[in-house]
Amino acid sequence: MEHTITYRLKKLLLLFSVSGLFLGLALYFTARGDQADIIWFVSVLPVLAVLVMDILRSFSRGEFGLDMVAALSMTAALGFGETLAAAVVSVMYTGGVFLESFAEGRARREMQDLLSRVPRTATLHRNGKLVEVPLAEIQPGDRLLISQGAIVPVDGVIETGMAFLDTSALTGESLPQRLSQGDPAMSGSTNSGAPFDLTATRLAAQSTYAGIVRLVEDAHKSKAPMVRLADRWSLAFLAVTVMIAFAAWWFTSDPIRAVAVLVVATPCPLILAVPVALVGGLSRAAHFGILIKGAGPLETMGRIHTLILDKTGTLTDGHPQIVSIESRDGRTQDDILRLAAGLDQASKHPVSQAIVAAANARGLVLALPADAQEIPGEGVVGRVEGHDVIVGGEAFVAQRINTNMEQASGSHPTHAAGSVLVAVAVDGAMAGRLIMADPLRQGAGGLLGRLRQEGIARIVLATGDRAEVAEKIAEGLGLDALRSGLTPDQKVLLVLSERKNGAVMMVGDGVNDAPALAAADVGVAMGARGAAASAEAADVVLLVDDIDRLGIGVEIARRSRGIALQSVVAGIGLSVLGMVAAGLGYLSPVEGALLQEVIDVAVIFNALRVLRITPQAALAMNPAAALPVLGGFGTRETP
């Protein structure tokens, strides 16, 4: 609400100052100059009043910005009767701050209820019936029903049967965990298997998921505020302005010369050109499916020193895939996969669905299974194409075909760390094994190389997964460091420790990444399939499930920031020359204001070059990728 009020106020001030300027000009050119002065004076006063209040609030926070220069020039112009010059400065200032606010507001409107993943109610066993109750009513010892696909609302223990929980959003483990009766289950996990009962061990407010949400809030509060690019130039620019204005007044005893200097010094190149360039960068990034929540994150993204990457769903695909097929008894790989996938059509388990997807990708024709029966947590049995088929864990399949584990495994090598083995038996004999893993995303190594070319000096892999799994994934990537087995608060500490070297960007997709995303200078969420909490906590959301978009976003941010700096340097240089000319008496305040307008137009046109940026990362990835993915005109600039 606070942002909405601020946005509306800035819009109202802009409309008021523009209306006052043109109404005054209309009166001036109809020979009613006195009335024009009154209109210009009145149109500037609200802007100046709001500006002074903002300056006082900034001083109370120990901040100092360019607003001081704009307030000084408007006050001096009004004080010495140069109302037209003050009105022009007012329009330029309100236009710049409105543009910044517009960019932030548009980014916020793109985000819709990103924390919808948080469960609000739970299904409770009460007096022999199932009732839906708010989470706040759940007490330790209550028995809950967790249906298939539901999110575990509170920490508890498995009460009945077997449970398959997808904990990837919490721990980074890409494959579901199999839990038995009495095993603990974390809130925030997703039930990937059959319904089961859970006995609550904690209140919802004390559970794992609630703790992660609190970590996100704490990280946001402790995060250093982003400083506007323009404000970094403000102190030096103010010193030069005051020195030239004072010198002009001191040596000529003409206060109007000082007013002219202040009007020319109004930092419109900074107030206008920087927002134009950064808003253009936001728009250009959106064309490629990269939602950046404001000009501040875009500018910071352009000067990142350290990149911290999550593993599951970020550096890897986040879903189990078949990486190899081991066959026995002369059966081909396609035979084993076709029969296994045919039977697994009867199961909704993530591993079964991955097997079916792999068979479809190979173009195999799958027969419908008959007499299919799924044993939760173990496997599936049934008939496919007239054969008795069993698909599941090695121990389960070996038991079903009355053989021991050594005979079932045969002489096949041990599977790699982090992979899952699925055994397949046909007509009572072991037919082969499917080796499944969460593989590295295609092109991940090339992406890291391009990011280093963009100036990122340090790349760290941070994951909640086991060390052996993380080390296997990291092979050949040229990472500077690897941290495994991290909890959400440990990821936050890693971000804070890396910040001593420079600005830090964290990329993740799970709930466990959300606190670190909030704590980083720039948090980037894989928003296409990632958790809502991570997208809410992040400053940047990749709307396309493609990690290569990260390289495109960094390149757009760096080039947008570079163009903004070009505009700043050129604009300030021209303004300083104009101040010198005004101090020497060659420019009146109105002429100075008009000269400043010419400078403004020049630097704004330069800033608009951002809209023609075509990232080399997009062209290197695929020429077609340079086309916008979210609509737009598709204008481009090829360097």
d(Cα 284, Cα 278) in Å, to the nearest integer?
Answer: 10
Collapsing DSSP states into helix, strand and coil, what is residue 432?
strand
Nearest in space to 350 (alpha carbons), one of 469, 509, 173: 173
How far is it, in rounded angstroms, from Cα 362 to Cα 45? 71
The answer for 414, left when phi > 0, alpha when psi is -120 to 50, beta otherwise, is beta
Q: Which amino acid is at 125?
A: H
Q: How far is CA 6 from the centre of its chain?
A: 24
The Cα–Cα gap between 257 and 246 comes to: 9
8 Å CB contact between 382 and 389: yes
Q: By 3-state DSSP, what share of the chain in percent is helix, strand and coil, each rounded to 5?
A: 55, 15, 30
Contact 176, 192 (CB under 8 A): yes
Among candidate residues 119, 170, 169, 127, the one with its CA nearest the CA of residue 146: 119
Which residues does 493 contact at the CB level (< 8 Å), separation at least 6? none
Closest CA to 535 of 104, 190, 108, 106: 108
How far apart CA 146 and CA 188 sit, in angstroms, is 12
Reported as type and span, the H/E element at residue 83 is: helix 83-110
Residue 584 sits at the vertex; the CA angle it makes with 578 and 588, to the nearest 5 degrees, is 65
CA–CA gap between residue 163 and residue 379 (Å, rounded): 13
521 is known as an active-site residue: no
Q: Are the C-beta atoms of residues 148 and 376 closer than 8 Å to each other?
A: no
State the DSSP code for 290. E
Which burial class, exposed, middle or buried, applies to 532 when counting CB atoms under 10 A from its CB (0-12, 13-18, 19+)?
A: buried
**HEC profile for 616-634?**
HHHHHHCHHHHCCCCCCCC
Cα–Cα distance list, 348 to 188, 397, 524, 604 (Å): 20, 19, 31, 56
Is residue 396 within 8 A of residue 375, CB to CB? The reply is yes
| CB atoms closer than 10 angstroms to residue 525 | 31
The span from the CA of 209 to the CA of 154, in Å, is: 8
Catalytic one among 37, 310, 546, 548? 310
Active site residues: 310
